[in-house]
Amino acid sequence: MLRALPQRGYAELTIGDLTKEAGVSRATFYGKFETKEECFLTTYDIAAQWICERVERVASAAHEWPAGARAGVSEAMRLLAANPDVAHLIAVEALQAGAAARRRRQACIERLAGILRAGRPGDAELPKELEELLIGGTLSLIGRYVDAGRVDELPEATVDLMALYFLK
């Protein structure tokens, strides 16, 4: 799924594309998944879990909120730059793959927002949805980098993102 998606996009992707890329028969595919959507959702869940766990690990290792937030965002951008197919899956195709994929994407945003929110100094004037908005905007930015073929430049966007995250 990860290798085939960037070539065709979710809407045009067929079971034949997936079996050819994986080097397996249709019977083998259907032995694991009932539909293309199920294969996509399984792939998305694995990728999102991997990203969230890595971000959470580095963010929680910092002693103060700004350093943890910076480390978490930096780690996410580094991981996605090193894994452009994962960036494509998470930031582009999750919006194209139907309602279940969009719900998974929202759950990922909420988890990452919770990581970003943890330890942030309280401010009654900040909207309670701030972190979700920041993560959603970051995913949109990542999608633009993917579409422009500039995924390798994502780590360089971290400095600008931190300026937005800290509202400076």
- Residues 6 and 92: their CA atoms lie apart, in Å, by 9
Q: What is the mean pLDDT of the chain?
A: 90
Of 25-29, 33-37, 85-89, 133-137, the poorest mean pLDDT is in 133-137
Q: Does the pTM exceed 0.85?
A: yes
- Residue 111's pLDDT is 92
| 152: CATH | 1.10.357.10
Residue 105: enclosing H or E segment and its boundaries? Answer: helix 99-117
Average pLDDT over residues 71-87: 93
pLDDT tops 60 at residue 141: yes
CB 64 within 8 A of CB 26: no
Alpha-carbon distances of 48 from 17, 58, 86, 100, rounded to whole Å: 23, 16, 9, 14
Domain of 132 in residue numbering reads as 5-165
For 41-69, write each residue's pLDDT tens digit.
999 999 999 999 999 999 989 888 888 88
- With bands split at pLDDT 50, 70 and 90, how would you rate the model's confidence at 101? very high
Task: Give the number of domains in the chain.
Answer: 1
